[in-house]
């Protein structure tokens, strides 16, 4: 249960973070289209954009929760599980950024969801330990 | 050159995953929400060699990704980099000695193919 809660929050933070970052970078590109394009100036603008900073903060939250989950759960479980973020990212991009989503992409998200379902059914470490079928990672 | 940079990206992503997992397992299960304890854990994490190596690998992964994006289309690059899911799972099995059952392999493969499809236009 702990794993599920942490991973759901992590994936939500990642998808929201990417959406904010994308929104911020697009706004930035639109506002600097005619002006100074030097890398330094772009860097300063990035730091000065609340939308981009908030997006980055959310991605840091994702990384912290991802690392925390890895402190008790298998990598081969956490990694595919967090790929549900792809599905959320696509939904967010479609809903909040009005991006067009091709049938290929929706099909891809369906495959990812199915894959995550299989990985979840393969049992988390805590479930495997309860069943006594896992070997401990050398610590 | 593009191929080499893609290979660098996939290998550094997977190495980063494996190092970070090993570091976090050494630090031990985080099972508290008390701020003071969490701060102590943060210090232990940030002084863990494996974790730091993982972060370094992630940095290499990030910059190799940016570099290769400047050479090739994103719809070509991202599907290939999703191979990192499979490589990381091999790392989990053979380096971290995790037990990866057939169901988990099947799920990981589906995720890999799905991630590739999602990034096609």
Length of chain B: 121
Q: How far apart are CA A119 and CA A136, in angstroms?
A: 19
Least confident of B6-10, B18-22, B61-65, B75-79: B75-79
* Closest Cβ opposite residue B97 in set A115, A123, A137: A137
More confident residue, B73 or A37: B73
Residue A37 confidence (pLDDT): 63
Interface confidence (ipTM) of the complex: 0.84
Tell me the H-state helices in A32-139: 39-47, 50-70, 75-82, 84-96, 103-121, 125-131
Please give the Cα distance from A25 to A129 (Å, whole number).
45
pLDDT in tens, A57-100: 999 999 999 999 999 999 888 988 888 888 888 888 888 888 88
Q: What is the pTM of this model?
A: 0.81
Mutate to test the interface with B, among A108, A123, A133, A139 (most CBs of B within 10 A): A108
d(CA B62, CA B31): 30
Q: Which two tokens stand for residue A74?
A: 């298998």
Between residues B31 and A59, which one has the greater pLDDT? A59
Residue A26: which pLDDT band, with cuts at 50, 70 and 90? Answer: confident
> Measuring CA to CA, how many Å separate A1 from each of A8, A83, A127, B28?
11, 18, 10, 18
Which residues touch A84 (CB under 8 Å, ≥6 apart)? A11, A112, A113, A116
- From B89, B97, B118, residue closest to A135, measured CB to CB: B97
DSSP H or E run through B57: helix B49-71
Instruction: Quick: pLDDT tens for A89-129.
Output: 888 888 888 888 888 888 888 898 888 888 888 877 756 66
A74 lies within 8 A of chain B by CB:
yes
Neighbours of B44 (CB within 10 A): 14
In whole angstroms, how large is the CA radius of gyration of chain A? Answer: 19
The per-residue pLDDT for B88 is 92
User: What are the tens digits of pLDDT across the range B35-89?
Assistant: 888 888 899 999 999 999 999 999 999 889 888 888 887 777 878 888 888 899 9
Question: What mean pLDDT value characterizes chain B?
Answer: 89
Contacts B98 to A, Cβ<8 Å: 74-76, 137
**pLDDT confidence of residue B22:** 94
Which chain B positions have a beta carbon within 8 Å of A118's beta carbon? 103-104, 106-107, 110
**pLDDT classification of A36: cutoffs 50, 70, 90:** low
Token pair 């940095």: residue: B59
Number of folded domains that form chain B:
1
Q: CB of B96 within 8 Å of any CB in chain A?
A: yes
Interface test with B, best of A76, A113, A118, A131 (most B CBs within 10 A): A76
Residue A136 pLDDT greater than 50, yes or no = no
- Which pLDDT belongs to residue A137? 44
Average pLDDT for residues B4-20, to the nearest whole number?
94
Structural domain boundaries enclosing B68: 2-118
- CB of B70 within 8 Å of a chain A CB? The answer is no
What pLDDT score was predicted for residue A134? 47
């Amino acid at each position: 249960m702990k794993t599920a809660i942490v991973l759901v929050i992590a994936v939500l933070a990642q998808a929201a973070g990417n959406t904010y970052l994308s929104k911020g970078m697009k706004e930035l590109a639109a506002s600097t289209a005619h002006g100074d394009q030097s890398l330094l100036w772009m860097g300063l603008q990035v730091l000065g954009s609340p939308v981009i900073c908030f997006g980055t903060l959310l991605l840091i939250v994702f990384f912290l929760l991802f690392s925390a989950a890895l402190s008790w759960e298998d990598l081969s479980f956490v990694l595919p599980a967090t790929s549900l973020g792809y599905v959320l990212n696509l939904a967010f991009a479609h809903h909040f950024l009005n991006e067009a989503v091709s049938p290929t992409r929706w099909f891809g998200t369906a495959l990812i969801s199915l894959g995550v379902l299989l990985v979840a059914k393969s049992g988390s470490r805590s479930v495997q330990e309860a069943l006594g079928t896992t070997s401990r990672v050398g610590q | 050159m593009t191929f080499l940079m893609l290979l660098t990206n996939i290998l550094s992503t997977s190495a980063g995953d494996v190092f970070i997992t090993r570091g976090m397992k050494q630090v031990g299960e985080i099972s508290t929400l008390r701020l003071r304890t969490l701060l102590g854990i943060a210090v232990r994490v940030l002084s863990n060699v494996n974790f730091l190596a993982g972060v370094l690998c992630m940095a290499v992964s990030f910059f190799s990704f940016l570099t290769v994006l400047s050479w090739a289309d994103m719809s070509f690059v991202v599907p290939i980099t999703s191979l990192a899911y499979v490589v990381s799972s091999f790392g989990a099995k053979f380096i971290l000695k995790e037990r990866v059952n057939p169901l988990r392999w099947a799920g990981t493969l589906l995720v890999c193919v799905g991630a590739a499809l999602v990034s096609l236009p």
